[in-house]
Chains A and B, each alone.
Chain A
């Protein structure tokens, strides 16, 4: 999956994010998104922060910059994490690219 820092993404309409006991749980609606029938997906706190920022307007570079500032983390590390997570989400069709 070719995910670029210049790209913008939003959550797919085929996944529902639910907050259960403080955790973001991703519930796939469509076939082929999950690996198992009894499996959902959850994001850790930084993953949840990325998810919230995938609004279809901000580029991944802007998302990473905002997170690096918020978490006082090395920008290069955050960019790598954001790219990796979004690539995984895109591979599972949980996020979709928004044409600019």
Chain B
């Protein structure tokens, strides 16, 4: 628009955070339209906020903008007390919605609207990388650091904690200091089942929902509770419940609550097709730390071309609708594959409209954990070419930025070929397989790298077995001159787990991966 009229821009959460950070660093206020309802009724969705640099003194009751260490998003809440910085509180009567504020509008200062005041910041850390599919490389569960901001005081009484009770934000837990010094399994994944109600073409694990043999091998609720007790004793705090489709288990509620009652912060990955009123009530009363739903398509034809189950699209829409009607907004994500590539822009738009905070997609497909040749051929047929992957990554600004950040952190000359692992699997995380197997990560299914938790304790697996896996060395000098010396490793899907799935050897380069990493390098460093 011209003639002094306002011009609106839409930003992704990461871009908005950077815009805010850089604007405030220059001492300049930033005005933007709020998204979300966590401060309703004081700040409504769409209200214009002005964030200004932090004043010399911050008071309880001030409205502050901050970067959430949990998800890296900018959130706006009320400060309820000060202890080395702001202690924040969401708006009255609402569960915080993890609101980012993507609808940024640069305006000259002076318009009506809430005024906010921003503080300095510590550098943000530990965002999950869009480049590395493996969460361990990006440090998914590690805490970020907050940029704290303050705003003009508005209505509402601040809440003060009793002096003997202190709120503690996750990044401030003493656990982190210990974890840096010693091996503490801060996080683990729990595959509740390999079975799924869908039959997705690209899936690396799914078995038929009615597979009696697989069902018989699954951990029981009592076994899972025992493992959760052991994990908590080892210091675990995060537990990601995944599958297969975890809601397929009739005892899901029992298992979920058992994990929570061990003091774990439980997240759930689901396709949402089996979300019924019972699950909604469970999540309303006992919210998961994170709830992530994969969107395979936004039309029935595309969705069911991926899932190969008639009626699944309707169940997905109904399940997502039940969650949203109950005020539960999951994070939405997508896989980019041959069968839905034509619809990816619409999928992304749908996800950005409905997601709790941000949207991410993955254009790289794993091969099967069970190395089933027939299913692997189906997955290979769904893989996008390096040119296609780069094209979709180029079109997504936040993903491109994430790749660039990863590129800036490229490991110098790989790891020198000394060991196979570039990630933190087995150092601060592990996976419990659906059949009771202990794995450093879900994808590391090489039998030489797994052990059976039914024949031993988690303590033994973590303390004794995991280090032997981490210490496995390449077979010969070839690795040292290939992936072990490659400075594109952070742009590559290669890791010993994926190498095994692709080639049957943990130290073997994968040709297609090299091509993809090189194409990505050209994207971000033309």
Contacts and interface: CB of A to CB of B under 8 A. Distances in A.
Interface in A10-59: 13-14, 16-18, 20-23, 25-27, 29-32, 34-44, 46-47, 50
Interface in B148-188: 159, 161-171, 173-175, 177-178
Nearest to A40: B168
A30 B174 contact: no
B420 interface: no
B484 to A, nearest CB: 36
Contact of A42 (B89, B168, B178): B168
Contacts of B162: 47, 84-85, 87-88
Q: Which of B167, B170, B286 has the most CB of A within 10 A?
A: B167
Contacts of A13: 261
Nearest to A48: B164
A78 B146 CA distance: 36
B135 interface: no
A22 B175 CA distance: 10
Give the interface residue-count category, chain B.
35 or more
A34 B170 CA distance: 13
Nearest to A27: B263
A31 B165 contact: no
Given A16-B261, A36-B88, A85 B164 contact: yes
Contacts of B95: 31-32
B175 A40 contact: no
Contacts of A30: 285-286
Nearest to A18: B263
B167 A21 contact: no
Contacts of A96: none
Interface secondary structure of A, over-half rule? mixed
Contacts of A46: 164
A65 interface: no
A62 interface: no
Given A40-B168, A88-B162, A31 B287 contact: yes
Contacts of A89: 165
A88 B175 contact: no
Nearest to A34: B167
B330 interface: no
A22 B177 CA distance: 13
A63 B261 CA distance: 26
Nearest to B96: A37
B169 A38 contact: yes
Contacts of B98: 37
B416 interface: no
Q: Which of A18, A36, A44, A50 has the most CB of B within 10 A?
A: A36
Nearest to A14: B286
Interface in B75-129: 77, 80, 88-90, 95-96, 98
B287 A47 contact: no
A40 B176 CA distance: 14
A89 B166 CA distance: 11
B167 A35 contact: yes
Given A16-B261, A27-B263, A27-B265, A37 B289 contact: yes
Contacts of B287: 31
A43 B166 contact: yes
Contacts of A31: 95, 284-287
B441 to A, nearest CB: 24
A41 B89 contact: no
B262 A25 contact: no
A38 B87 CA distance: 11
A27 B232 CA distance: 12
B98 to A, nearest CB: 6
A23 B169 CA distance: 14
Given A31-B286, A44-B163, A44-B166, 17 more contacts: A13-B261, A20-B175, A21-B174, A25-B173, A29-B261, A36-B77, A38-B68, A38-B69, A38-B70, A38-B171, A39-B167, A40-B167, A40-B169, A40-B173, A41-B168, A42-B168, A81-B164
List 5 A-B pairs, minimum CB-CB distance, nearest first: A47-B164, A16-B263, A21-B174, A38-B70, A88-B162
Interface of A: 13-14, 16-18, 20-23, 25-27, 29-32, 34-44, 46-47, 50, 81, 84-85, 87-89
17 contacts: A16-B263, A17-B263, A20-B174, A20-B175, A21-B174, A22-B174, A23-B174, A30-B286, A32-B95, A36-B90, A38-B170, A39-B167, A43-B165, A47-B164, A50-B164, A81-B164, A87-B162
